[in-house]
Each structure stands twice: as structure tokens, then as C-alpha cells.
Structure 1
Amino acid sequence: MAALRVTVLSGSGKALLSTPKAIKTPSAKMSFSALPRSRKVALTTIGVLTAGGAGLALALHQSVKASDLELHPPNYPWSHAGPLSSLDHASVRRGYQVYKQVCAACHSMEYLAFRNLVGVSHTEDEVKAIAEEAEVVDGPDESGEMFTRPGKLSDYFPKPYPNAEAARVANNGALPPDLSYIVNARHGGEDYVFSLLTGYCEPPAGVELREGLYYNPYFPGQAIGMAPPIYNEILEYDDGTPATMSQVAKDVCTFLRWAAEPEHDQRKRMGLKVTRKGRGRGP
């Protein structure tokens, strides 16, 4: 708005009135409400499309970023996955054999004792023989010295390293996790462990790994310090089952499910009893 001063002079030339007048000048900005309806619709449509496009681009960006970090494992048809399905105890037995011959060199299971195997995968005599193969540090004796002795049913599985620092030194700085509850500690449970064990492959073009690392799309970050632990015929099963890679992975995953949830079968039996009892009551 510009103001114009108008001066009215008398006959003697003196100013009688000096009144500012407001004169409207065109504004640089035009009010949205003053626009024609067609133009309002056009501008609104452009705004919605712009905002939607920006939101979609951001969502896709976040999705790509998430997929770069981890490939989610598929859902496998585990025989014990049903609400009333028990563990395959022959598979648990084979899975212990895989742990003992393949995994125990690096991974501990410090919450599992030899006695836990009795009546689940082995007889008591078999477990006693397995325990006696282990050298357990005990003591002190009467002279104050530590000593080693054959294992007993009450002993826990021996650790592969005396402490975490020794474990890191032996594994290029990586600390192998304890496997007692690994299927509960990892998202995806046994699906994740199975996919990890069988998922090693060559890195895609453009991806370079440090020396001592291996490419596994199921591992967070995709670079894992553990070398591929299993392959076809890595061992011979005591029961003669062909030890293919998938069979070995399936058996050790079943064993790890039992280790993390030893009450698995009992819990489902109780559920079955409750279900039958409820049906027997009638209306």
C-alpha cells in the first residue's frame, strides 16, 4: 500500500488541509482463496502427488537399506512345529553327535549337563560313557592343586576355551556364542540357524570382504567370521543316516531346540491332556 499526501491551498497559499490518502497497489502474492476453482484443484493435486512421491521414495529407501543388512530366513516345515507335535528324538541324538564332532571345538553349551541327555537321546549307560570321555578340571586336592578327572553325569559340557579372551584370540577377534539358548536368542529360531548353516555363498559383484570373513546373506551385516562349518558327509552318523548338508543342519537345529527348551514335549503333552479333558466334560 502506498500513501499519497494531498494538500489543499487557500487563496493566500496556506495549507488548509493535508490528508494522507491510501492507494492500493497490486500485491506480489495472490490469496489462494481468490483463485479460480479449477486452479485450486490443479494446485492441490500437484501437492498431493509431490508429497506422496516423496513418501514413497523414503519408504523404498528405508526398505532397501533394511534388505541390505539382513535376508530373513524362510519358514521350514519342522516336524515339531505343530501345537501338539513332539521333537524327533532320533534327530536330537544325531544333532548331539553333530555338536560334539563339529561345533564343540568352538562353541560352548555351558547350561547343559550330561545327565540332561539321559532318557531324551541316550540311555544312562551311554551318557556315562560319553561323560567319561571328557577331561574335567576339578579340585583343589589335599595338596591344594587342581587336577583333571573323567567326567560324570552331573558335570556340565566342557568349554572349548578357558575364557572369552582366549576364544577371541583363537577366532580372529570373534567370540563364538554359547549355543545353549541360541535358537531362542536369534530372531527366526531354528529357521535362522538352519539358513545360516546352509546359506554360505560367494559375495555378489562389487562386494569385497576382509580377510578371514565369509559372505552369508542371513547374517546381520552379511560378513561372518565363522567359516562354513558343515558340508556333505562331514561325519558319519552312528545310525547310518546319510549325512547330507541339509540333514546335518536339520539335526543340529533340532538338538538346539531341545537344548533351549527341554520341557518342549512335556509342555505339549500337558496341553493335549487339558484339551482332552475339556472335550470330555461336554456341555
Structure 2
Amino acid sequence: MVRLIASLVGAAFVFVLGLALFGTVSDWITNPPPESAEHEFHREALDAGLPSNGVLGRFDRRQVQRGFQVFQEVCSACHSLKYVSFRDLRQIGYSEAEVKAIAKGWKIEQPSINAETGEASTRPNVPSDRFPSPFANEVAARAANNNALPPDLSLMAKARHNGANYIYSLVGHGYVNQPAELLRKFPGAKTPTGLHYNQYFANLNIAMPPPLTQDGQVTYSDGTRASVDQMAKDVSAFLTWTAEPNLEARHSAGFAAVIFILIFCFLAWGAYQNVWRDVKH
């Protein structure tokens, strides 16, 4: 009797679930969701072609250094890099003396408290310091950016889908004139005042003005031509490194693990053949 009741309850539960699923699918077919400007005009990110892509990818340190230069001269005016220390720059090829010079010469000094007076003050950065925020707090950041809060870029390449390609596409190729077809199909989708149309941003309208506006905006120390496309690639390479500085070690460890597993499987197969070679089947 208990089994019969349990079976009936289970059957009723499955029936209710099936009925709900049928109702949802039927409603979706008869009343499909309306098309949106974001769904139709949002573009998939372009391929930046970075050397760090792929299972065996490695950083091009000259490119990452160029990307740091773009961040330093363009992005750092609004964006923080709070999870990266100046001394971490040693990993991308800067010498100890260069790191000290970069830290000391950084345009934003480190907030500090005067030990004698207890008043807030600042001091020059040292290599062990993390990159200071360009704003004292969130209120100041919003006040300087039309109430928009510039996100920290330390982990941006991991925080966004297809991160490196997304950053490259957004800053290098995303800012275009709003398509006439979009305004014709969606008259209410006109970019609001204070925002900027970007075909790679999720809702097509972004508060950040175009950061890379012209070729030669940055003068690379290694002589590379600083086109908008090149600067976008380089800064995306740098932000890929800040998000995952151990990427090369992880790739090397993964490759070594695969080789070990293959060798182990071969040895296990050989041992199996040796143990059972005289057994008649």
C-alpha cells in the first residue's frame, strides 16, 4: 500500500512538472519575447590574437610592457589596479631599479597618516605598494565621472566573458556611430546624453568616453607604431597578465601533467602485458 501511494505521489509530481514545462514552452511559442536592440546589434568580440591565448600560450613581455604604458598614460587617470603591486612589474621584464623609478614617479602618491599629527597625508610609492586609486573614494570617483564608477581593472580580463578579446574589441573597435537601422527599428534606443554607443558593450551604451582616440596617442619606448588597434591589443595583453600573472606556470604544469599521464598509461599497459602474458584466454 505504501509503495502504491508513493508511486501515485511521484506520478502526480512528474505530471505537474510536465504540465508546467508544457505551459512555459507553449507560452514562449505563442508569445515570444520582443526583440531588443541589445540582442540584435550587440557584436561578439573580435579575436585579439594575443600570444597568451591557447593551452600553450605565453606572454610577449614587450607587448605587456607596452600595454602597461597604455594603462599608465591613458587608463590610470580613471581606473584603479588595486590587486597589483609595483614590484609585480618585475615579472614582465622591468629591472629592480626601473620598478623603483616607476613607483616613485607614479602621479598618485600613497595615502598615509602623519605619525606626529595624526592627519591624513601622502608619501611616495615604493615597490611593495599596490597601485593607488586615482580617487580618494567612491563618491569622488562618481563625481568626476558623471555618477559612473570606473571599475577596477586588476581582474577585468577574468571578470568578463572572453576577457582579453572583449577588452580589445571594446576599447579599440567598439566606439562607432549609432547605426541608423537601430534607430529606425528601435526609436527609443537612442544613446542617452552622457553615454557613448559601443557595439561590444552589453547594453550598447557605456559611460566611459573613448579612451583611445587616435594613432600615436602613446609614444612607445620600443619604437612600435602606436595605432589604435595596436594600443588596444597591448592594453588587453597587460590586463590579461594582471588578471592571471601565473598563466605561463599553469600552462607549463598542465602540459607536464598530460605528459606524465601519457607515460604512466604506457607503463601501466606494459605492466599489464607482462603480468598476463602467460595466461591463456
Q: What residue in structure 2 maps to residue 102 of structure 1?
A: 74
Q: What residue in structure 2 maps to residue 149 of structure 1?
A: 123
Greater CA drift, 98-107 or 132-141 = 132-141
Structure with higher strand content: 1
CA distance in 2, matches of 1:138, 1:170: 23
CA distance in 1, matches of 2:96, 2:262: 38
Mark the CA change 1:174 to 1:94 in structure 2 (over 3 Å): closer, same or farther.
same
1:91 positional shift: 1.0
Could you tell me the percent identity over the aligned residues? 39
Instruction: Describe how 1:203-282 pairs up with structure 2 within 5 A.
Output: 203-205=178-180, 206=183, 208-230=190-212, 231-281=214-264, 282=266
The answer to whether the 8 A contact 2:38-2:202 is kept is no
- The higher relative CO (CA closer than 8 Å, separation ≥ 6) is in 2
CA distance in 2, matches of 1:164, 1:153: 25
Instruction: Describe how 1:173-188 pairs up with structure 2 within 5 A.
Output: 173-188=147-162
1:58 positional shift: 5.3
SS of equivalent residue, structure 1 residue 94: helix
Instruction: Describe how 1:54-203 pairs up with structure 2 within 5 A.
Output: 55=29, 67-68=39-40, 70-134=42-106, 135-197=109-171, 198-203=173-178
CA distance in 1, matches of 2:145, 2:195: 11
SS of equivalent residue, structure 2 residue 91: coil
Gaps of 5+ in 1: 1-50
Q: Provide the aligned length of Structure 1 versus Structure 2.
A: 230
1:211 positional shift: 2.1
CA distance in 2, matches of 1:271, 1:109: 28
Q: What residue in structure 1 maps to residue 15 of structure 2?
A: none
Higher-Rg structure is 1
Gaps of 5+ in 2: 1-24, 184-188, 268-281
Give the superposed CA RMSD.
Answer: 2.3
1:146 positional shift: 3.2
CA distance in 2, matches of 1:80, 1:192: 15
Mark the CA change 1:129 to 1:65 in structure 2 (over 3 Å): closer, same or farther.
closer
Residue by residue over 1:62-108, the C-alpha shift from the partner in whole angstroms, topping out at 9 and shown as x without a partner, is 56566147332234433211211211111111111110100000000
1:117 positional shift: 0.9
Q: What residue in structure 2 maps to residue 22 of structure 1?
A: none
The answer to whether the 8 A contact 1:69-1:221 is kept is no
The answer to whether the 8 A contact 1:92-1:121 is kept is no
Greater CA drift, 200-209 or 163-172 = 200-209
Question: TM-score w.r.t. structure 2 length?
Answer: 0.75
